[in-house]
Amino acid sequence: MKPIKVGLLGIGTVGSGTFNVLKRNQEEIKRRAGRGIEIAMVADLNVERARELTGGECDVVNDANLIINNPDIEIVIELIGGYGIAKDLVLKAIAAGKHVVTANKALLATHGTEIFKAAQDKGVMVAFEAAVAGGIPIIKALREGLTANQIQWVAGIINGTTNFILSEMRDKGLDFGTVLKEAQRLGYAEADPTFDIEGVDAAHKATILASIAFGVPVQFDKAHVEGITKLQAVDIKYAEQLGYRIKLLGITKRTPKGIELRVHPTLIPAKRLIANVEGAMNAVLVQGDAVGATLYYGKGAGSEPTASAVIADLVDITRLATADPGHRVPHLAFQPDAMSDTPILPMAEITTSYYLRMNVSDQPGVLADVTRILAEHSISIDAMLQKEPGEGETRADIIMLTHQTQEKNVQAAIAKIEGLPTVMGSITKIRLEELS
């Protein structure tokens, strides 16, 4: 059987990894796929560099439309990124009856509904294993391996750049800017690193995970997005003293009222495996009603780790290209006519525990005022740490960990406590998940 012909749009970090791994492992991949997989055309703005990377082994063009209009190409891999030209090209490829593989989480989290509908109507596949957690096959696991389960929640370290930054800052005492530059040099960070450090990239991925876990449409606009730029070193230190690590988590949970979908720095017990995921590594913890907790760990970014996921999709498509579209695994794990309209909850309605740090006057009655306000808002304290004032100082840091409560209760209590004359400045609030 002739090899299936593939067109690659964008031969940057992931594109070059895909080209190289496919070439290196072509015999083994062919034995698995049942057919050779050949990158026949590459489109990139930098044609010279693309020619160098491909060593004259395929056609190189600077106009991606030439690939989409080529009837011999059956699969298009989109590795350009962003929502502009990439969206246009993906929709054109689908309209031309080509299967699509993409690592573009930004595109799918924001325009997934339109893209999956177009693919469904045309009977083609859109595969996106590389879009979440790079080389970790978490899409496959959630969509197929855990298909027996009612998924209860998913919590993951799904941005390597921020995990790398948090790890390096804690371990080596390096400053934020230095570590960010290193993450960019290593190819982890997005073209615009604000997407990484402000939590947007993780929220794109969490949005996709929520859809597959619960069978709801992709709704990035409803996700709560909070990055690590406001995180202070002192909170990392106090968290450690209380037995916790701070990680940027993407969390999605099924609750009786709706679905929680949020990304924010989170305290997690230091003894959990996921708390010990360091550097640019990713990990995703999935809680299913039948299987219990399962943990997936590996490289979430980088040229060849991400290529590993891209090529897994190529193999899947090669195997299923001739199958009746109705017999393929649905894009979002649930049949398109069986999607749920369960709402994504506003942040005020979520339930979790909290780390609260406040700076107070070291005088009698202050703690009593604070705990009274917390009690009035149905917030119960789980643990407390008071830092003794230094020599000649009259103020002290108090750190409290709460039991689970609703976010709106905490917001109201914080507003009241900040109004006390004995409390200085604003209160630092970081959410806490036991993940048990």
Number of H helices, E strands in the chain: 15, 17
Query: Of the residues 87, 105, 140, 205, which is catalytic?
Result: 205
* Residue 205 is among the residues annotated as catalytic for this protein: yes
Contact with ligand NDP (CB under 6 A): which of 53, 60, 73, 80? Answer: 80
Q: Which residue lies nearer to ligand HSE by CB, 134 or 298? A: 134
Nearest-angstrom CA–CA distance, 436 and 433: 8
Residues of span 329-388 touching ligand HSE by CB under 6 A: none
Minimum CB–partner distance for residue 188 and ligand HSE (Å): 4
DSSP string, 212-271: HHHT----GGGSEE--STT--HHHHHHHHHTTEEEEEEEEEEEETTEEEEEEEEEEEETT
Say which entry of ligand NDP, ligand HSE, none residue 161 contacts (CB below 5 to 8 A, set by partner kind): ligand HSE
Q: From residue 198, give the alpha-carbon distance in Å to each of 164, 208, 264, 434.
A: 14, 18, 9, 23
Structure tokens at 134: 């790079």
Q: Which residue lies nearer to ligand HSE by CB, 131 or 373? A: 131
Q: Which residue lies nearer to ligand HSE by CB, 187 or 269? A: 187
Contact with ligand HSE (CB under 6 A): which of 189, 277, 413, 432? Answer: 189
Residues of span 94-113 touching ligand NDP by CB under 6 A: 103-104
Stretch that binds ligand NDP, among 149-157, 166-174, 300-308, 318-326 (CB under 6 A): 300-308
**Runs of H (alpha helix) within 280-355:** 303-320
Is 235 an interacting residue with respect to ligand HSE (CB under 6 A)?
no
Whether 416 contacts 373, CB under 8 Å? yes
Minimum CB–partner distance for residue 161 and ligand HSE (Å): 3
Is 134 an interacting residue with respect to ligand NDP (CB under 6 A)?
yes
Is 197 an interacting residue with respect to ligand HSE (CB under 6 A)?
no
Q: Which residue lies nearer to ligand NDP by CB, 76 or 103? A: 103
Is 12 an interacting residue with respect to ligand HSE (CB under 6 A)?
no
Q: Which of the 8 DSSP states describes residue 98?
A: -
Q: Which of the 8 DSSP states describes residue 156?
A: E
Structure tokens at 68: 């989409």
Minimum CB–partner distance for residue 408 and ligand NDP (Å): 34
Q: Which residue lies nearer to ligand NDP by CB, 68 or 210? A: 68
Q: Which residue lies nearer to ligand NDP by CB, 211 or 402? A: 211
Minimum CB–partner distance for residue 148 and ligand HSE (Å): 28
Whether 251 contacts 111, CB under 8 Å? no
Is 46 an interacting residue with respect to ligand NDP (CB under 6 A)?
yes
Minimum CB–partner distance for residue 190 and ligand HSE (Å): 4
- Residue 242: strand pairing partners: none
Whether 419 contacts 410, CB under 8 Å? no
Say which entry of ligand HSE, ligand NDP, none residue 10 contacts (CB below 5 to 8 A, set by partner kind): ligand NDP
Residues of span 155-184 touching ligand HSE by CB under 6 A: 159-161
Structure tokens at 336: 């398109």
Contact with ligand HSE (CB under 6 A): which of 188, 214, 334, 354? Answer: 188
Is 313 an interacting residue with respect to ligand NDP (CB under 6 A)?
no
3-state SS, residue 326: helix
Nearest-angstrom CA–CA distance, 76 and 99: 6
Residues of span 50-79 touching ligand NDP by CB under 6 A: 64, 79
Minimum CB–partner distance for residue 229 and ligand HSE (Å): 15
Nearest-angstrom CA–CA distance, 223 and 207: 7
Is 128 an interacting residue with respect to ligand HSE (CB under 6 A)?
no
CA angle 96, 308, 248 (to 5 degrees): 105
Whether 295 contacts 283, CB under 8 Å? yes
Please report how many Cα atoms fall inside a 13 Å half-sphere around the Cα of residue 203, on the Cβ side: 24
Contacts of 166 (CB under 8 A, 6+ apart): 228, 231, 236, 246, 247, 248
Which among 420, 413, 421, 98 is positioned nearest to 429, based on CA atoms? 413
Q: Which residue lies nearer to ligand NDP by CB, 163 or 402? A: 163
Whether 199 contacts 227, CB under 8 Å? yes
3-state SS, residue 247: strand
Binding mask 289-318 for ligand HSE (x = CB under 6 A): -----------xx-----------------
Contact with ligand NDP (CB under 6 A): which of 4, 6, 7, 15? Answer: 15
Q: What is the CA radius of gyration of the chain?
A: 24
Which residues contact ligand HSE (rule: CB under 6 A)?
A: 134, 159-161, 188-190, 196, 201, 300-301
Q: Which residues carry out catalysis? A: 205
